[in-house]
Structure 1
Amino acid sequence: MKYYFLFSLLMIVSFASAQDVRPLYPNEIPNSKNPDSENYKNNIPTLYIYKPESVTKNKAFLIIPGGGYAHVAINHEGHDVAKALNKEGYVAVVLKYRLPSNEIMEDKRFGPIQDAQSAIKFIRDNKEALGLAFDEVGVLGFSAGGHLASTLSTHYNHAYIENQNNTSLKPDFSVLLYPVISMDPDITHEGSKKNLIGPSYSDEDVSNFSNELLVDKNSPRAYLMHAKDDKVVVLENSERYAKALDKHAVKNKVYIYEKGGHGFGLKNKQEDGDWFADMLNWIEN
C-alpha cells in the first residue's frame, strides 16, 4: 500500500490543535504485516509535534498516553498535556503508538517499544531541521504509557530499531504517571500484561518487561505520581521503581495523592495538589 494514502487518512482525522502531524515511519513500518487490514490502518504510528510560539525551555517532552495497550488515550493524556507544556515554553511531541497485535505484527511484544525508540530518535535526529531548541529529551507516560516510558528508560542499551547513527535512545529524564511498571502478578495490571505479552506468559517475558528489575546506575532520573486509592494500577508499581532507583543512587521523586483513583490526567478532581507544576519544578531544579 502506498504510504501517501495512509498519510492522507491521518490528515483527515488529525486534531486541528496539533501544530504538526506526521507519520512516525515515512516508509515501511518495522515488525509489521497485513497492511491491508483495518487493524493495520487504525494503528499507523503518528507524531503530533507541538511547538510554542516562543521556545523558552531547553527540554523537550515525548508524551506517551495510556490505555492498557488496548487503546491510546490521546486526548486527556496526550494533546492536553502537550498544550499545557507549550504554555510553559516546552516543545512536546505526542506519540500514537501501535497497540500490540499478532494480526499486524511479527512479534507484538516489541511493536510499542520500537515506536517509542523511533520517536525519541526522530526528535533527536531532527532537532535542527525542526527548528527546536533543547538540550534534553524526556519521556512522560501515563498508565500503560508509563510502562512503555519506563521500558524506554530501562531497555536503552538494546536497540529494537535500526540505529545506524547510534543516536541515544535513552531519555534524559522520565515522568511516570500512575504507571504500570511490573509484570509481577502480585501488582501488575493484568489487562496491560495480557495485551503486551499474553495471553500466556513465559518467565523470560515477565522478567524482561518488569522494568523495576532493569534499573541500573545509568537509568534516567525519574518523577513518579500515583494515588494511594488507585485500584486499577496499584501504588506499589511506582514504589518498586523508586526503590530500584534509590538502590542505584538515581535521583527520583514520588508524588502521592491520598485520593484520585486512576486515569485522571492533568487534574486530580478528588484532591488538592498540582503534580504537573510540582513535576516541572523538580525537573528544572
Structure 2
Amino acid sequence: MTRIDAKFADLKARGQKAFVAYVMAGDPDYDTSLEIVRGLPGAGVDVIELGLPFTDPMADGPTIQLAGQRALEGGMTLARTLQLAAAFREGDDTTPIVLMGYYNPIYSMGVDAFLAAAKDAGIDGLIIVDLPPEEDSELCLPANAAGLNFIRLATPTTDDARLPRVVENTSGFVYYVSITGITGAAEADAGDVAPEVARIQKASGLPVIVGFGINTPEKSRAIAEVADGVVVGSAIVSKIGNCDSPGDVLAFVKTLANGAHTTD
C-alpha cells in the first residue's frame, strides 16, 4: 500500500473528501517553494501535487506556464525537484507527494535512474500528462513495478469506448479534468461533473479527484460533494506569482481545504 492508498483509505474511513494542492517546484525560488510545500499539510492538504518545471507545458494555462518559467529561471531541474521532495520528507513521512509534469525530463534522466531517485526522494505517484495509455510500457508499468502509483487523466471527451483503456493500469486515483482546454481556462460545474465522476468510479474502482476550474472555497465544496476530492492548482499558483507571502498563500489554501472538508 502506497501513501496515496493509505491516505484515501483513511479519508474514506472518516467519511471525508480529499483536498489536493498543486504547486510548481521551485516557484518563485527553491527556499520559498520548500517553505510553502512544508506548510501545506498544516493548511489541510491531503495530497501534494508537485509540478515539475518544463519548457513546453502544453496542457497548462498562462498561470502555471509562468510559474514553470520562474522556476526554470531560478535553476530548477528534475534533480532539484526531487531534492525538494526529499527535504520535505525529512519532516513528513505520511503526506503523499504526486509528481506532475511531462515525460521529456524523465526520459533525459533515464527511466530506471529516475524511478530509483523518485523512490529515494519520497515520491508516491506520477501524473505524466503527455504519455497516453498506448505508451504504458515506457513509464507506467515500470513505475507500478517500482511501487509508485501511476495516475491517469480522464476528460469530458473520454468516452465509454476509451475509458477502459485509460484506467487499465491506473492506480492511486483517477484525475478527472472537469473542463476541455488548458488549466485555469474556465470554471468547473458540479452538475456536469457528477455523472462523469460516477462513470469513472464504476469503470476504475478508484477514487476520482476533480481538477481544473476550482478556485474558491465554495467551488471546492460543491465539487467535493460529487467527487472523492478536489485539486486546486492555478488559483494557488496565482497567489505565489503575485508575490504573496508563504503565510498568505497557506492561509488561502486553508480556506480551499476547509471547503472540500465540509461537505454534507
Bin of the TM-score, shorter chain as denominator length: 0.3 to 0.5
TM-score w.r.t. the length of structure 1 is 0.35
Higher helix content, 1 or 2: 2
Q: Which has the higher contact order (CA 8 A, sep 6+)?
A: 2
Larger radius of gyration, structure 1 or 2? 1
TM-score w.r.t. the length of structure 2 is 0.37
